[in-house]
Structure formats: C-alpha cells, structure tokens
Amino acid sequence: MIIKGGIVYDPANGIFGEEMDLCVDEGRMAEDGKGEVIDARGLLVMPGGVDAHSHIAGTKVNTGRIMRPDDARLGIEPRSGVCRPCTGYTVPNCYAIGYRYARMGYTTAFEAATPIIEARHTHEELEEIPILDKGALTLFGTNWEVMECVRDKDIGKLAAYVAWGLRSARGYGVKIVNPGGGEAWGFGSNVKGPNDPVPNFDVTGAEIICGLAQANEMLRLPHSIHLHFNNLGKPGNYTTALETLELLKDIKPSRMRQVVHVAHMQFSAYGGTSWRDFESKAPVIADYFNSHNHATMDLGQLLFGSATTMTADAPLEYGNARLTHNKWSNHDIELEESSGVVPMVYFRKMLVNAVQWAIGLELALLTRDPWKVLMTTDHPNGSPFINYPEVITLLMSKPKRDAEMATLHEQLPKRTSLGGIERELDWTEIAIMTRAAPARILGLEDKGHFGPGADADISIYDLRPEEVDPSRDHALVKKALAAAKYTIKSGIVVSQKGQILAAPPGRTLR
C-alpha cells in the first residue's frame, strides 16, 4: 500500500507537516510499497491514535453497562455490513468501542485498571473489542502481598511478585490507585494521604508507591508506574499531588522514560478547602511538570453532559454516590483492591464542573512540553472517548474556548486562569499528545510513529492543514476528526469516512 501526497505529522521521527508518501508492507511501515494506492494529497496524516488511559474492559466496565440500560439506549446502532450491533454512550458495548475508536483514527487503547484475580474477565472483553490493539494495566496499589513486601523492605521479592502478577494477569504495566485506600475501604474507611498508615498493615501509601516504582525499574518494564493519587477528586488535593511527585524525583528510570505517569491529572489539581471555594491549581501543577522531568500525565479532561465514573478508588465512588444521590455499585476484590461505579452528569452552570472543565485545558496549555501531556478524558469518567474531537479543538482554538466559557458559570474566570491563556496547540503538538507521546510513555516501540518497521496504523483526515486554520475553523476540524477519511490498522483500511469496512480482531499487547 502507498499513501500518496499526505501532509504527514510524525513528530517521533522529526516530521512536522511535510508532504510525503508513506509505504506499507505486510502490515508494517516500509521503505517501499506496492498494491493499493491511497490518494491523500494535501490531507492531514498522522499515526493511528493511541489511548494510554481508558476504561474499556473488565468487571467495572460491564457493571456500568449492567446498571445503566439508560446509557445503552443512548448509542444504539443496528448491525450492518461487517459490524455487530452497537449500544451505549458512556459505556458502549465491546463492538462500539472498537468501531468508534477506529472511526476517529484511533488504533490502540489501554484499559487502565485490572485486578489480577479478575484479569480473565478483562481479557474476555478485550478479545471481543474489534480492530484495536489493546493492553491492560494491572492493579498493585493496595495488594496484601505488595504491602507485606514493602513493610519488610524486600524490593527483590516485591519485583518477583510484580513479575508474577503481570504474567498471571497478562498485564502490561503497574497501576497504582489510591495506594492503601482499597485496603482501608475493606472496612469502610479510607487513607487521608500518602503518609497515612494503612490500617492493619504497617505501611503508608508513600512507601507502597516508592516500593513499586523501585520494583518497576528493577524489572526494566517498558512503562513506568501509572499512578492515581490519594485524595483524588477532593478540593485542595493539589498538595497531595505535589507531595507524591516529590517522593519519586530521585528514583532512576531504567529506560529513557518517565519514572511515574500520573493518571487523569485534572482530578488531582484542585485548590480550595471545600467545594464552596473550589478553584484550579493547574498552574502550580503545570509549573511542577515544567521544572521536573521524572513525571508525565494524562489529562482526564471533563466535558459537560453524561459520564459514568468508574475507578478502583472505591471510597471516592461512595462519595460520588452520596453527593449525587445516584445509583452506586461497589466491588471489593479480596486480597487486592476495591472499586466502584456511579453515573454522573456534569453541568455547565455548576461552578465546580466548570472549574473542572477548565483545569484539564489549563494543564494541557500551561505544560510547555507536549511529550509530558496526553489527551484523554479518562473515558468514561470525564466524558466518553467519542468526544476527543471536542477536546482537541478546545486545545487548538482560543476563540472556541472563549465562546464556551461565555456559556458557563459567571464565577468561573475568578477560579481559573484559562481565560488568559493565549496558546493554541498546533498539529505537531496534537500528534504528540494523541500518538507519539502515549506510545513513548507506554514504551510501545512500534506505535505512534511511521519509522520503518512500525505498525502500519495510520489515520488520514479530510483536512488540509496548509489551508485550514483550526483556531477559526474549529467546527470543521471537529467534524473531520470525528470521522477519519481513512483509518488504516496494520495495513488494512478499517474505516472510511466513518464507515467500518473491516473489523479484524486486533492484538492484546503484554
């Protein structure tokens, strides 16, 4: 296959919008190609999108589906052509997940939280998701064996346990959620921060995080630890974030990458002492990332409308349920974890929600190096992934942000710096934040770039980067990003102008 004349963004290889041909041979990028020719003259061409943090498979995702028939009805598409039927908006069925990512030009997605003991369920669903290459991060943050190794300061044994856990769970990397909190939640309480002792175990969250980070580097894993902070979602929690990041700054990475990846930073960049004086602390967080190189983040951008919150941070979900009086599922997992699911709606006129919306954008715009920031919505916590084009256009267009802010709570400008930020991201930065950086942060050598031998995952959009001004023409950009002109997965055209043409099974990466 040859893709002719596209305007190619391949930042990992130093290509920033050059007109060039791309060649594919046997599902990989190659020097030469033959056969099918795709005319991409003048069009935006990027590697297939990589989502490093999304909740797409496993017990809590399916619990979300089971408890939300209302949501299933929001996204019904009948079966047709190669497509099985689709349902759901925030908690789509497996088929919808594959087709909808592919339509947007995404070809890889990672499930962000799987307990070892329930990994079989996660893989059953991952296998059923068509088209995408997939992986799953394995939860270790509140695991009895982990806590005992950390208590005994036996990092070698901890590394052995992590290796066993990843192998048993067919996991890709080490996920830590509210370390120690899941154990406390076993008897209905929580830890108050990284230095709070975990009940019945003589350890703290801080010790668990550092122990797992050291074990992670001892094992030279492709990905760093992937961390969901303590106190997530609470006013004033930015101090917890900074305190926790400081713990890790002296750990040496075993590979050319970060030591810690922070999940959905938006939910941990909160100021104020209560919801009443709630405000953004994104500038402080962004400063930290600007002045340190051991950490990366994904946004966890929040958008207005329906979401389903789901996390291994079970006490947080109980709080959500009490706050919203919404239905609540909880699932404590013996020896390992706890988790919860609560449906949520984010409102424009609710100041807290508006501030949360602004924080995600601030983080992306104030962090200078796009290699440190991934564009995500923590699907479906901040918003379903289907809304990525909305996030991307907000990041690319100051006028769009201003127009949006004008519809929000009038107190918002006092609680966020967003209104004063002039920066508009360009296609190189978007290609980094949605392709190159997630692949590099995860340690996926064959993803997120077009170098020879890389997986031939390619997205071609009906946009002429040399003609279109995303700042002004954001509506046009959003429309084009929602349905790629071509999505190519391992050298096969899987989607064209929003229509799924082929649905190969995809691989599970581990």
Partner 1 sequence: MIVEDAICSFCGCLCDDINVEVEEGKIKRVRHACRLGSSKILGHERIKAPMIRRGGELCMVSYQEAYDRAAEILLRAQKPLLYGWASTVCEAQKKGILLAEEVGGVLDSTATVCHGPSVIGIEEKGLPGATLGQVKNRADTIVFWGCNPAEAHPRHSLRYSSNVCGRFTPEGRAGRKIVVVDVRETRTSKNADKTVIIQPGTDYEVISALRMLVAGKGDVVPDEVGGVPKAELDGLAKTLLAARFGAVFFGLGITHSRGRYKNIDNALSLVTELNSHTKFVIMPMRGHYNVGGIGQVLAWSSGFPMSVDFTRNAPYFNPGETAACDLLAKADTDAALIIAADAASNFPRAAVEALAKIPVIQIDPYENPTTLISEVVIPSAIAGVEAEGTAYRMDGMALRMRKLVDTSYPSDEEILSHILESVHRLQRGLER
Residue 337 has which token pair?
A: 């974890």
Q: CB 181 → partner 1: shortest distance, Å?
A: 14
Using CB under 8 A, which of the segments 92-100, 147-155, 206-214, 438-446 binds partner 1?
Answer: 92-100
3-state secondary structure of 98: helix
- State the DSSP H helix or E strand holding residue 38, giving kind and residue range, or none if neither: strand 37-39
Q: Which of residues 235-264 bind partner 1 (CB under 8 A)?
A: none
Residue 188 near residue 152, CB atoms below 8 Å: no
108 and 490 in contact (C-beta within 8 Å)? no
Choose the binding region for partner 1 from 26-34, 58-66, 207-215, 265-273 (rule: CB under 8 A): 58-66
CB–CB of 276/456 below 8 Å?
no
Q: x/- contact string, 143-162, with partner 1 (CB under 8 A)? A: -x------------------
Asked whether position 329 contacts partner 1 by CB under 8 A, the answer is yes
Q: CA nearest 284: which of 227, 228, 351, 362?
A: 362
Q: How many Å apart are CA 300 and CA 124, to the nearest integer?
A: 26
Q: Is 331 in the site for partner 1 (CB under 8 A)?
A: yes
Question: What length does the chain have?
Answer: 510
Applying CB under 8 A, among 192, 328, 451, 468 the residue interacting with partner 1 is 328
Closest-CA residue to 493 (of 2, 97, 91, 129)? 2
- Token pair belonging to 441: 């942060």
Q: Judge whether 459 and 47 are in contact, CB under 8 Å.
A: yes
| Stretch of 37-45, 84-92, 293-301, 482-490 contacting partner 1, by CB under 8 A | 84-92
* Residue 186 in the binding site for partner 1 (CB under 8 A): yes
Among 26, 31, 334, 467, binds partner 1 (CB under 8 A): 334
- Does 37 engage in binding with partner 1 (CB under 8 A)? no
Residue 229 interacts with partner 1 (CB under 8 A)?
A: no
> Counting contacts by CB under 8 A, is residue 128 touching partner 1?
yes
Is the distance from CB of 44 to CB of 465 less than 8 angstroms? yes
- Does residue number 62 form part of the binding site for partner 1 (CB under 8 A)? yes
188 binds partner 1 (CB under 8 A): yes
Does 330 sit near partner 1 (CB under 8 A)?
yes
Question: Nearer Cβ to partner 1, position 126 or 408?
Answer: 126
Q: Which of 364, 385, 383 is nearest to 374 (CA)?
A: 364
Binding mask 3-32 for partner 1 (x = CB under 8 A): ------------------------------
Q: How many residues bind partner 1 (CB under 8 A)?
A: 53
Q: Which of 34, 41, 79, 368 binds partner 1 (CB under 8 A)?
A: 79
Which of 106, 267, 278, 318 contacts partner 1 by CB under 8 A?
A: 318
Residue 252: CB atoms within 10 Å:
8
Distance from chain centroid for Cα 489: 20
Q: Is the dihedral of CA 399, 471, 384, 99 positive or negative?
A: positive
Q: Which is nearer to partner 1, 186 or 205 (CB)?
A: 186
Pairing of strands 225-228, 260-262: parallel
Binding site for partner 1 (CB under 8 A): 57, 59, 61-63, 65-69, 72, 75-80, 84-85, 87-88, 91-95, 117-118, 120-121, 124-125, 128, 144, 185-188, 200, 318, 321-322, 327-335, 341-342
